[in-house]
C-alpha cells in the first residue's frame, strides 16, 4: 500500500511552433514538495489528442532532431484525412501513437532517477493550440 499520493496539473505555453518543452525542473520542484525523500513513481499525463511526452536529451540538438524525425515520419501536408486546423494538422493527431501522452519514471530518495543526459519533455507539433496541461502524480512508499 502506498504511503503517499499527490497530484498536480501544470500549465505549459508551447507557442505557435513545434516544440520540445523541457519539464524536468517542474518535475523536480513537484517532487521536492511532495516526495520528501521517498522512493516511488512519478507519472506524467497530458490530456491532449495532439501532444506527447518523451524522455530525451535536450539542449544539444536532440530535441530539434526529434522534431525533424517527426517531420519525416509525419509530414505536415494534405495526405491526412483529419483536416481541420492548420495544413497537415491530421498528423498532430497521429503523434500520440508515436510519442505517447504518458510516462512513468522512478523516484529514488525523493529525486527523479534520470540518466545523465535525460530530460522529461512535452512534445507538441500542433501550432493551433499554444496552451497545454500536464498532470504530475507521485505515488510513494
How does pLDDT run across 80-110, given as a tens digit for each residue?
888 788 888 899 999 999 999 999 999 999 9
Q: How far apart are CA 135 and CA 44, in angstroms?
A: 6
| Residues in CB range of 62: below 8 A, 6 or more apart | 56
Q: Give every CB contact of residue 95 below 8 A, 6+ residues apart in sequence.
A: 50, 51, 52, 70, 74, 123, 125, 126
4-58 confidence digits (pLDDT tens): 999 999 999 999 899 999 999 999 999 999 999 999 999 999 999 999 999 999 9
Helix (H) or strand (E) holding 131: strand 131-140
What whole-number distance in Å separates Cα of residue 53 and Cα of residue 132? 12
What pLDDT is attached to residue 87?
82
Residue 139 reports pLDDT greater than 60 = yes
Q: What's the pTM?
A: 0.94
Give the E-state strand segments of 34-118 in sequence order: 40-45, 51-56, 102-108, 111-112
Amino acid at each position: 500500500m502506498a504511503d503517499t499520493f499527490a497530484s498536480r496539473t501544470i500549465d505549459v505555453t508551447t507557442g505557435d511552433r513545434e516544440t520540445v518543452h523541457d519539464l524536468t525542473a517542474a518535475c523536480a520542484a513537484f517532487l521536492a514538495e511532495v516526495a520528501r525523500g521517498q522512493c516511488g513513481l512519478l507519472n506524467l499525463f497530458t490530456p491532449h489528442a495532439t501532444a506527447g511526452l518523451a524522455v530525451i536529451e535536450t539542449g544539444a540538438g536532440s530535441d530539434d532532431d526529434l522534431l525533424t524525425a517527426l517531420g519525416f515520419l509525419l509530414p505536415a501536408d494534405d495526405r491526412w484525412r483529419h483536416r481541420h486546423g492548420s495544413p497537415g494538422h491530421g498528423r498532430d493527431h497521429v503523434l500520440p501513437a508515436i510519442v505517447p501522452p504518458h510516462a512513468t519514471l522512478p523516484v529514488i530518495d525523493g529525486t527523479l532517477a534520470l540518466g545523465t543526459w535525460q530530460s522529461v519533455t512535452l512534445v507538441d507539433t500542433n501550432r493551433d493550440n499554444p496552451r497545454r496541461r500536464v498532470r504530475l502524480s507521485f505515488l510513494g512508499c
